[in-house]
Amino acid sequence: MASGGNPANKHILHSSIFNKTLRGWQGLNCEITQKNLMYPIFIVDDENAVQPIQSMPGISRFGINRLKDHLSPLVEKGLQSVLLFGVINNVPKDETGSNASTEKNPVLKAVPKLKTWFPSLTVACDVCLCAYTSHGHCGILDKDGYIKNDDSIKRLAEVALAYAKAGADIVAPSDMMDGRIGAIKQSLRDNGLVNRVSVLSYTAKFASNLYGPFRDASKSAPAFGDRKCYQLPSESTGLALRAAARDVEEGADMLMVKPVLIYMDIVKELKNKYPEYPMFVYQVSGEFAMIHHAAKAEAVDLRLVLTEVLSSLRRSGADVIITYFTPQILDWIHGGSKL
């Protein structure tokens, strides 16, 4: 027989998948462990509140006095990182989001407590103005309602610095203003914090229709218009590539694509282009709701479909998945079952 044997033998696939071990070897880079998860949490300014979020079943806003009880069992199951979002009900909102960087911001109160309660937990703070501005946009506006980019990135750097000074390990600007990464890095450098606070850039964040439940949860919907002048068009790969090149140039430590389920092509392209950067993906509120309601309607099995989605995100190049399903996933992992 010519060297190489019968070429038909090369195309037998069943011999690679006839048992669980063999199948497991086909996707070793798709595994999900605690280090691949970041848990988003809403922190509200009513310190004793637990407020279930109607549009995100099973998810609540927590007052600072209820956080320890909620997180302790999750940390015991190996939770390694959280992403904090502030929600203010009793604090005035204004044109520049002043209270994003005052002691009235519940996240600023929560960070030092979390670092004390859970020394091993990595704490990231979302940096944006929309939950603190009267107009609900992510930046500062001029009198005609257009973004004032330079004023916005100056303000965002102030907010990021406040979180850094409070003890945050990571600041994560989700605003999508041009140049905010450089402004935040410079502010951290000027304050002697650039070597111990990481910048997770929401690099390729699209003007998606999948943010509705979050905006309900954080009361951060724009009072008028939309965010299409600063979030990327869903059709654009080029702008995602340009955003990543910009953020890498300005010193981002880690990159992110958001949403993810319908943007995995972008994840793969950015991970291939920047393999030296941890790639985060954000399974946003609308994605959470879609999967939750499909499972509730018994159209899919939650655990099976979520496992398939998560391993697909890893296959596309995601290193860390920001997901509201984190508590369930920790339960499954802690239960010893492979995800």
Q: Which residues bind ligand PB1 (CB under 6 A)?
A: 126, 128, 130, 138, 174, 211, 214-215, 220, 227, 284-285
Q: Which is nearer to ligand PB1, 197 or 322 (CB)?
A: 322
**Residues 283 and 322 sit within 8 Å (Cβ to Cβ):** yes
Q: Which is nearer to ligand PB1, 30 or 323 (CB)?
A: 323
**Least distance CB 227 / ligand PB1 (angstroms):** 5
**Least distance CB 101 / ligand PB1 (angstroms):** 15
Residues facing residue 170 across a β-bridge: 124, 198
**Least distance CB 250 / ligand PB1 (angstroms):** 19
Neighbouring residues of 75: CB distance < 8 A, sequence distance ≥ 6 = 118, 120, 121
**Least distance CB 325 / ligand PB1 (angstroms):** 12
Q: Which is nearer to ligand PB1, 290 or 304 (CB)?
A: 290
Residue 258 is among the residues annotated as catalytic for this protein: yes
Residue 317 per-residue DSSP state: T
**Residues 50 and 60 sit within 8 Å (Cβ to Cβ):** yes
Q: Which is nearer to ligand PB1, 30 or 141 (CB)?
A: 141
- DSSP letter string over 33-99? -GGGEEEEEEEESSTT-EEE-TTSTT-EEE-HHHHHHHHHHHHHTT--EEEEEEE-SSS--BTT-GG
**Residues 265 and 241 sit within 8 Å (Cβ to Cβ):** no
Burial category of 294 from C-beta neighbours within 10 Å (exposed 0-12, middle 13-18, buried 19 and up):
middle
Residue 158 is encoded by which pair of tokens?
A: 């102030």
Q: Which is nearer to ligand PB1, 36 or 218 (CB)?
A: 218
**Residues 202 and 174 sit within 8 Å (Cβ to Cβ):** yes
Residue of 93, 185, 205, 271 with catalytic role: 205
**Least distance CB 338 / ligand PB1 (angstroms):** 27
| Closest residue to ligand PB1, based on beta-carbon distance | 214
Residue 93 is among the residues annotated as catalytic for this protein: no
Residue of 93, 185, 258, 271 with catalytic role: 258
Residue 305 is encoded by which pair of tokens?
A: 């479909």
**Least distance CB 284 / ligand PB1 (angstroms):** 4
Angle between helix 264-273 and helix 302-315 axes, rounded to 10 deg: 30
Which of 137, 173, 167 has its CA nearest to residue 153? 173
Helix (H, G, I), strand (E, B) or coil at 119: coil
Q: Which is nearer to ligand PB1, 30 or 267 (CB)?
A: 267
Known catalytic residues are 205, 258
